[in-house]
Copies of this chain bind each other. A is one copy, B any other.
Amino acid sequence: MNVQITVRDAGPPHAASRPAIADGDIHPSPKSAKELYPFLEARWQRHLETYGLLTRQGFASGAAYPKGQPDACRRDAYPPSGGRPGSDLAFMRAQHLDPNHVVLGVLNPLRGGQGLLNADFAAAYSTAVNDWQVAEWTAREPRLKASVVVPYEDGAAAAAEIDRRAGDRNFVQVLLLSRTAEPLGQRRYWPIYEAAVRANLPVGVHAFGYGGYPVTGSGWPSFYIEEMVGHAQCSQSQLTSLVIEGVFERFPTLKVVLIEAGFAWLPALAWRLDKIWRRLRDETPHLRRLPSEYIRDHVWLTTQPMEEPEPRRHLLDTIAWIGWDRLLFATDYPHWDFDDPARALPLPITDVQRQKLFRENAQAVYGVA
């Protein structure tokens, strides 16, 4: 059976002999939309069938992904049971969690209702996705932890959903996307940060979204490659907004994890922020520290897609500036641009550095032993 061959290829039979890792970015899918129905009122089931998942960027269909990778997924990630990649827990265990010795996997559902234009539907759908994550995933597999999906364009509804999950250890973060209607530092999103701090949950900001704006500051690009590269510029803008609006001054215990936008751009962004802020700081009297200081205290980043510069030592310099305690390894399983933990970061690093980056940093920021 093909599946078993794939699994054997992915690692030795006794995978526990490999180092234990945390995976900061796993994408679960329902087998079909109907898998969410037990968690959706009949009214919203009918709405979904009649109107679909309508966002500012059209229907939330995953159509931004290259068609050659259906559902943006590895072609070997289709479960033998049928359904979409990432929809079968047993297969996820066999293909990823077991052979890669994942001891903590953070679930980040991307089509969770976040960008739906109908505010009530967005809230109901987000709640359903969260209930579904517990029922189908975290209650059955203690290595997996869920993210609280929120209808983030509606700050009050998003805060209510966070409050609903507060104290529930199935959840380890609040999940936002990076393509929002306005920059994430703005006041409409502050109820989310307030609720996240109250629930003692970090806020993850994953690339992609439904803001309706082109990813560049100069209109719509032609190529999928430009969209992919553009996630890094988008996350730079979002982090700038969080810092300059004073979110970290107002919420001094807030933790933000930037997911799937790379990390090598962070030092240059911080240098530029510091230089410009020093000259224009009277525009932002609500800030009392250098932008880079807020970043160092409040921001974590996942590694995937891991930059691979030549010469490689530049990557070590970059990580040294960011801090070895700030990067979380992530695979993006089951998506096509999966970073293999056995191959990522082929560099001479110490055992302590490797353990932090591949496991301990995630356990620390998510509060999971």
Contact = CB atoms under 8 A, between A and B. Distances in A.
Interface of A: 66, 68, 178-186, 209, 211, 213-226, 228-230, 232-234, 236-238, 240-241, 244-245, 262, 264-265, 267-277, 279-280, 282-284, 305-309, 314, 317-318, 321, 336-337
Given A229-B276, A269-B232, A179 B223 contact: no
A49 to B, nearest CB: 31
Most chain B C-beta atoms within 10 Å of own C-beta, residue among A181, A238, A245, A265: A265
Nearest to A318: B268
A211 B215 contact: no
Question: In the assembly, how many copies of this chain are there?
Answer: 2
Contacts of A180: 218-219
B275 A218 contact: no
A180, A267, A284 pick with most chain B CB within 10 angstroms? A267
Most chain B beta-carbon contacts within 10 A, residue among A215, A216, A241, A274: A216
Residue in A213, A217, A237, A337 with the greatest tally of chain B CB atoms within 10 Å: A217
Contacts of A238: 216, 218
A305 to B, nearest CB: 6
A28 to B, nearest CB: 23
A284 to B, nearest CB: 6
Contacts of A336: 279
The interface centre, meaning the residue of A184, A221, A318 with most chain B CB atoms within 10 A of its CB, is A221
- 5 closest A-B pairs (Cβ-Cβ)? A216-B237, A264-B268, A217-B234, A271-B307, A233-B233
Contact of A217 (B224, B233, B264, B309): B233
20 contacts: A178-B218, A179-B218, A181-B218, A183-B226, A186-B222, A221-B241, A224-B280, A225-B283, A228-B280, A229-B276, A233-B237, A264-B268, A267-B309, A268-B268, A270-B309, A271-B307, A275-B306, A275-B308, A314-B317, A317-B317
Contacts of A317: 314, 317
A83 to B, nearest CB: 25
